[in-house]
Structure 1
């Protein structure tokens, strides 16, 4: 394979990375389950303007839910809702990789540009979110498109401004106001550095008007049809700006998160800063440096050092790291390449060994450990999955033997190795992982325990992911215990410490690996008060 990869070779590698693992498992805890729950509610209830979760209003920007719902309908003939909805994440990921490639081509030239999508997709933190139903992926796509638009603002002002305006408006529709805030000072920075500032300023102003028109269509629809929902949405948005996220503590957390989350883009960006230290004022370097600092500041101040918003730090790091790939010294490049080949060959061997333990019970010690972590799991041999995994392993062996020497070989082997590892996990380990993460058996058990004749079910502290899963799997919906309706419910569903004092426990359950008391789900019925004689 010639390096750097391009055309079909790059497309096949990235396509295999993106779409492997999007299907084949149930909704999982946190964002994946919540997003699929909102999509399911949208599909079944038709609340296109006002997304809701398990029958409750869920004030959030709707773009990702819209596209996921459309995807679930297009592929309803072949896939269940949760798997078809995740295909929208694959599309957003593919678009993000495309736009970061285009932005790198504008800043660093056509020859170095293929390193950008390899670095972004190869970032360890990106791997976790690229294969779940995650609205932040749509925001990431908007950011990468915005960088492409801003990078061509001087050369092609109309196309650059149009791209930036659409990215800003659609990004707001994807995740609200706060994640898009960093792009405003970045645009001002580009205008300030432009040789034709007046033209650049007018272009950015026009792009802001375009963004307002795009975002305003949904807001106007809410104002006319559901002003209460619009007020709730803005309340959530303003709360993010007013509550704060302890910026100094968030910066400290980012210092421990980014070294593994942004690997290998972060060290390569650091190398670029060193080797190009006399060129830091040039636009190809100054733009990503400023963009990273601004995004880091906004994330620390308003979004916190959480994994999903940290995705927005990756595009500027990647754009800064691209020149570092080609400028690595031969010794460092060879060491990085050997590290990648040895690491992922070892991880691939471990993945096959773990699969053997789960399916065949060998090695016995490893099989006992897998059974202890997920009690009751029984591994099944799938000839299709094994054949696919074996084909990927053989392709990896062929790649590391035949790849020509090139400055791009190290990052190519990293990306290919990461793709292989994820492919092995998705094909060989996914049944074991899904067994421990799905709420499907728990929901079915609860459904059987519910009285045939019942009124409402109150919940005191259930997380959104659990509310979404119960509704998706068995149509179990609850009302908030503190609401007027919840206070009159005869049934109470809680997670955590047992409830006493006027409540009789009907059922208790949890996922196989949940052993702690505060992880258990419990169903109670209100005790009827016995009347005393003479009263």
Structure 2
């Protein structure tokens, strides 16, 4: 059977409405997308690639200042560039338009996982899966900033949805499963999708997956995936044989690199420990609820349980061989964890549900109060001690109170207070309140303190500071081409920052009288040069910039 109804579901009637879930998901998706610059470290390079694609119309690979970067998916690049063309500048700035790609792909992933929960677990469980995902803090940066991991999440959601439809709608299941594998190959290389394809072939070893419609689904999914998987590398080879060689030798297998001669990947105990440690916060509250489901029932007796358990084991095994751990790859575990978390949510004991609810109320209530205090400190100087710390961490910030973010912040707080006052808290209500708390905290952070964060995480204040240090005569000479400021080709951070926020052109000509260099703030000027300005983002000890004049 592909549909499972928990024993307690018959005794518990939910009063939740689907439109409330849609409203919460909508409220959760948008804070942090608008009204700020590109934030270090990932956004500047990704937007540089998007901007190059908009200007050149070339979407085969990301171009970051002339350097090919295959870590950015061509699908994400194409989507972000298209959204910039559609919505910038008339509806929003180019940064926000590009971030819409992350919002779009995350919404696809949430929808796919929600539909899978509905078909695997039964009525009302699709929304439980989505609530468990919204409650995971690890999804927040992926969703609201320029981040290609959102495409991975969308592909995994489609794959899970395809598995869930295998017993009901063979054609739809085949398209979702095969299409999800292909999309995943464009986001993470071939290793992960090939592993999930192997998992799909091995599932019939369990009796729950041995039925005719699943065999037909497998046939259809492979009929979709096998012709499409080599399509991108084939087209890339025709477009640029040199770039294809780079992709083949260094990126084809994703976390394992490519086909260049190298030692076989080895089991990394440190990588496994890294992922297990970060999983505790990245996927909370999905993982403890998944453990509860495993304790409460025999999940391997159900088709969805076999899939989820095998998926988790497979991904953890892959991550154990990861030579360079990155916490964003924990997204690979989220769909099966959320599915397991929703399975026994309505059967969660009252004490456990009450504790989760209490913990969420205390955590997000105190965090919301702190964020309001931080807003008052940064803008009005009270409390004084907190105002000192705010100035220490973001010294370039000038008090900035915008009406619209304030309206959003003022609305979110009482709505959250209204949501947590419900009585007869059960498992689903506790998770709903947790997701509401995450939404509240993120919304307050991205409205009340957004300008303060922007001043600390953006390079714009540093660029403005450098240009303000120059005389009006020198600025005019540089603008007219009578003088110039050089920058090294490898100084990509400086080149991207000054291209986005500066008004004076930089050149790669090494014979200029002035040179912009990347160096720590404590470094001295090299021989033959005089330092006329230096600066850095606040509290950054390793990254700094200096403007030098030739003696």
Provide the TM-score with structure 1 as the length reference. 0.88
* 1:332 lines up with 2:341 in the alignment: no
Q: Which of 67, 72, 85 is 2:79 aligned to?
A: 67
- Return the match for 1:320 from 332, 340, 355: 340
Aligned residue number for residue 546 of structure 2: 522
Change (3 A) 1:422 1:93: same
The answer to whether the 8 Å contact 2:171/2:220 transfers is no
Among residues 99, 115, 120, which one is paired with 2:112 in the alignment? 99
Distance of 2:173 and 2:155 partners within structure 1: 14
Report matched runs for 1:16-35 at 5 Å.
Answer: 16-35=27-46
Contact 2:268 2:323 in 1 (8 A): no
C-alpha separation between the residues in 2 aligned to 1:85 and 1:165?
Answer: 27
Q: Note if contact 2:271-2:325 (Cα within 8 Å) is conserved in structure 1.
A: yes
The residue number in structure 1 matching 2:141 is 128
Query: How far does residue 305 in structure 1 lie from its aligned partner after superposition?
Result: 3.1
The structure with higher relative contact order (CA 8 Å, sep 6+) is 1
- SS across alignment from 2:427: coil
Q: State how far apart, in whole Å, the 2-side matches of 1:261 and 1:245 are.
A: 25
Residue 371 of structure 1: how far off its partner (Å): 0.9
SS of the aligned residue for 1:161 comes to: helix
2:517 alignment partner, SS class: strand
What residue in structure 1 maps to residue 270 of structure 2? 249
Q: Distance in 2 between matches of 1:504 and 1:519?
A: 20
Instruction: Give the whole-Å Cα distance in 2 for the aligned partners of 1:245 and 1:207.
Output: 31
Is 1:210 equivalent to 2:224 in the alignment?
yes
Compute the displacement of 1:214 (Å). Answer: 3.4
**Distance in 2, Cα, partners of 1:201 & 1:486:** 64
1:409 aligns with 2:429: yes
- Separation (CA, whole Å) in 1 of partners of 2:155 and 2:340: 18
Which residue of structure 1 lines up, in the alignment, with residue 234 of structure 2?
220
Q: 1:314 to 1:509 in 2, by over 3 A?
A: farther
In structure 1, C-alpha distance between the alignment counterparts of 2:511 and 2:121, rounded to whole Å: 62
SS in 1 for 2:546: strand
Report the equivalent of 2:153.
140
Equivalent residue, structure 1, for 2:290: 269
Distance, in Å, in 2 between the alignment partners of 1:303 and 1:213 is 31
Checking the alignment, whether the CA contact within 8 Å between 1:505 and 1:522 is kept in structure 2 is no
Partners of 1:140 and 1:311 within 8 A in 2? yes
User: Closer, same or farther in 2 for the Cα pair 1:252/1:405, shift >3 Å?
Assistant: closer
User: Hey, what does 2:501 align to over in structure 1?
Assistant: 473
Q: Map of 1:431-446 to 2, 5 A cutoff?
A: 431-446=451-466
Deviation at 1:29, TM superposition (A): 0.8
The Cα of 1:446 is off from its aligned counterpart by: 5.0
For residues 418-472 of structure 1, the C-alpha deviation after alignment (integer angstroms, 9 at most, x for no partner) is: 1111111111011101100001122345567695534863244x4x655543333
Are 1:302 and 2:322 counterparts? yes
Q: 1:422 to 1:510 in 2, by over 3 A?
A: same
Out of 57, 62, 84, the position equivalent to 1:46 is: 57
Distance 2:399 2:188 in 1: 39
Note the C-alpha offset of 1:234: 1.7
2:203 corresponds, among 190, 200, 224, to 190
Cα distance in 2 for partners of 1:259, 1:505 equals 50
Using the size of structure 2 for normalisation, the TM-score is 0.86
- The answer to whether the aligner puts 1:381 opposite 2:393 as a matched pair is no
2:250 to 214, 231, 236: 236
What SS does the aligned partner of 1:113 have?
A: helix
**Bigger CA drift: 287-296 or 5-14?**
5-14
Q: Is the 8 A contact 1:150 1:190 kept in 2?
A: no
Aligned pair 1:400/2:420, yes or no? yes
Contact residue 17 and residue 419 of structure 1 kept, 8 A: yes
SS of the counterpart of 1:95?
A: helix
Relative to structure 2, which stretch is displaced further, 302-311 or 159-168?
302-311
Structure 1 residues 267 and 393: CA distance shift in structure 2, 3 A? same
> Can you list the C-alpha shifts for 1:314-345, whole angstroms capped at 9, x where unaligned?
11111111123222111111121122222222
Point out the more displaced range, 51-60 or 212-221.
212-221
Report the Cα offset of residue 87 of structure 1: 1.0
Equivalent residue for 2:311, pick from 266, 274, 291: 291
Q: What per-residue deviation string (whole Å, max 9, x for no partner) do you get for residues 209-260 of structure 1? A: 4224434443333222211111112222156255748621111112211111
How far, CA to CA, are the matches of 2:339 and 2:111 in structure 1? 13
Shift in Å at residue 282 of structure 1? 2.1
Rounded to whole Å, the distance in 2 between the matches of 1:454 and 1:216 is 47
**CA distance, structure 2, for counterparts of residue 285 and residue 14 of structure 1:** 26
Name the CA shift for 1:346/1:171 in 2 (closer, same or farther; >3 Å).
same
CA contact (8 A) 2:455 2:461 kept: no
List alignment gaps of at least 5 residues for structure 1: 480-484, 528-535
Contact in 2 for aligned 1:28/1:438 (Cα 8 Å): yes
Structure 1 residues 195 and 78, CA, compared in 2 at 3 Å: closer, same or farther? closer
